[in-house]
Structure 1
Amino acid sequence: LELAEREIPVVAPLERDGQTLHTHAGFRFALFPRRGGRAPEPGNLDQLYRLGQLLGRMHAVSASHPFEHRETLGVENFGHASLSTLLDGGFVPRSLLPAYESVARDLLKRVEDVFARTDFQPIRLHGDCHPGNILARDDAFYLVDLDDCRMGPSVQDIWMMLAGERHERLGQLSELVEGYNEFHDFTPRELPLIEALRALRLLHYSAWLARRWDDPAFPMSFPWFGSERYWGDQILILREQMSAVQEEPLKLF
């Protein structure tokens, strides 16, 4: 609602009797107006420039004061806690458990090192700002799905817009930041966090599924989650991410 009041294009919840969060039969729910649109085109530099403007406008508002109740994105809650959920819950097949645990713990050590040597000021974030959570329609963009809002580095809302090979991501980053800087100053020292944040997201996503596995909708929607193939693929992905974390960070042109 704060963003909507500042004319930032978000799909804000509807209010009734001054409230946006309601209850029925023991369930909590919110209602939103219907908005149509599609995800931005991957790698479209013109769209990325305008998306950068949108993110800069949002962060200019969100940097004004912190959340009162939302947590801060960090290695402990997104990384170690996620790994504990997966290991303690027995979600990783026994045959793949040693390999998965080993690469995950090694990766988290690398991520801890990156966070330790990177200075940043946490601000309020969208938190899950990937193209699927942005609606593009008639040359306008709307931000949706803010349920993962939290405190963290501003680059968390930027890196998921990047796709493709390194040289492509460099060009995309340049467009995003150029638009962003029109409304809020981007901090280049956060760039080394990009691959560390991607590593945390990989672990957090698996744990997100695991924590909801008792919900009958989840095994139906994600039947591959419990398969050996999924966890074998995850081991390979985490190994590749280990290499990415150790590579030279992206830089602005």
Structure 2
Amino acid sequence: IGRFLARIHTVGAARPFVHRPALDLQTFGFASRDVLLTGGYLPLDMESRWVKAFDEAMLVAQTVLESVGDVKKIRLHGDCHPGNILWTPEGLPGAGPHFVDLDDARSGPAVQDLWMLLSGDRPQCLRQLGALVDGYEEFAEFDRRELALIEPLRTLRLVHYSAWLAQRWHDPIFPINFPWFGTSDYWKGQADMLQEQAEAMQAPPLMA
């Protein structure tokens, strides 16, 4: 998968998107917050708690981004997790991985398309990351400074996902499939996860 992603990113780096937005604090963080607050999706008993956790997490994320400095922004898949990869078995035409669901394609750091492929505890993630980067670097360079962006990117995805649900809540199928969205328990969990992410962003990053 690392080799295949590097090939995709080589094409993605050739030129920028014309209409797709970038993945950054504004588009995934603050814009998502505005969608949630102006739309009244947070229950009153959880709004201040979530906003406080959001503000603290964004402050830490901003600090990490500034410490990393400028990194190259390329066209990305944007939502590269195992559920969006289909495999054709060896021996058949087109054997190998096929990446689907490009709804979240946008520009950002290459590591955005790597970190969602990691799972398990830290040692497991380190092994998986090492294998991904080794394969990636057979076809393209990988800026290891971007590894420090994994937890900030995870934090932004957490907020963006809630806004994504909110923006589709008018679709009758969404309240059926996501009945917990909008409940106090859901937003308590979201606030707790943002607090956990604020701590995770200050921990030493994964290395490869």
Letter in 1 for 2:139: F
- Which residue of the other structure, out of 116, 122, 126, is the alignment partner of 2:66? 116
Matched, 1:99 2:55: no
TM-score by length of 2: 0.94
Measure, in 2, the Cα distance between the counterparts of 1:180 and 1:147.
23
- Where structure 2 has 5 or more consecutive residues not aligned to the other structure, the ranges are 91-95
- Which residue of the other structure, out of 138, 144, 147, is the alignment partner of 2:100? 144
Measure, in 2, the Cα distance between the counterparts of 1:241 and 1:68.
32
Give, in angstroms, the shift of residue 154 of structure 1.
0.4
1:131 paired residue number? 82
2:93 paired residue number? none
- Where structure 1 has 5 or more consecutive residues not aligned to the other structure, the ranges are 1-50
Matched, 1:74 2:24: yes
SS in structure 1 of the partner of residue 180 of structure 2: helix
1:62 paired residue number? 12
2:3 paired residue number? 53
Superposed CA deviations along residues 36-81 of structure 1, whole A, max 9, x for unmatched, are xxxxxxxxxxxxxxx1111111111111111111111110110011
Measure, in 2, the Cα distance between the counterparts of 1:98 and 1:204.
18
**Alignment of structure 1 residues 1-253 onto 2, 5 Å:** 51-118=1-68, 119-139=70-90, 140-252=96-208
Give, in angstroms, the shift of residue 227 of structure 1.
1.5
SS in structure 2 of the partner of residue 76 of structure 1: helix
Measure, in 2, the Cα distance between the counterparts of 1:68 and 1:78.
18
Give, in angstroms, the shift of residue 192 of structure 1.
0.6
Give, in angstroms, the shift of residue 229 of structure 1.
1.4
Superposed CA deviations along residues 81-138 of structure 1, whole A, max 9, x for unmatched, are 1111111211111111111110011101111111222220100000111111101231
Measure, in 1, the Cα distance between the counterparts of 2:13 and 2:67.
22
Aligned-residue sequence identity (percent) comes to: 50
Give, in angstroms, the shift of residue 157 of structure 1.
0.4
TM-score by length of 1: 0.78
Letter in 2 for 1:67: F
Give, in angstroms, the shift of residue 158 of structure 1.
0.4
SS in structure 2 of the partner of residue 60 of structure 1: helix
Give the RMSD, CA atoms, in angstroms. 1.0
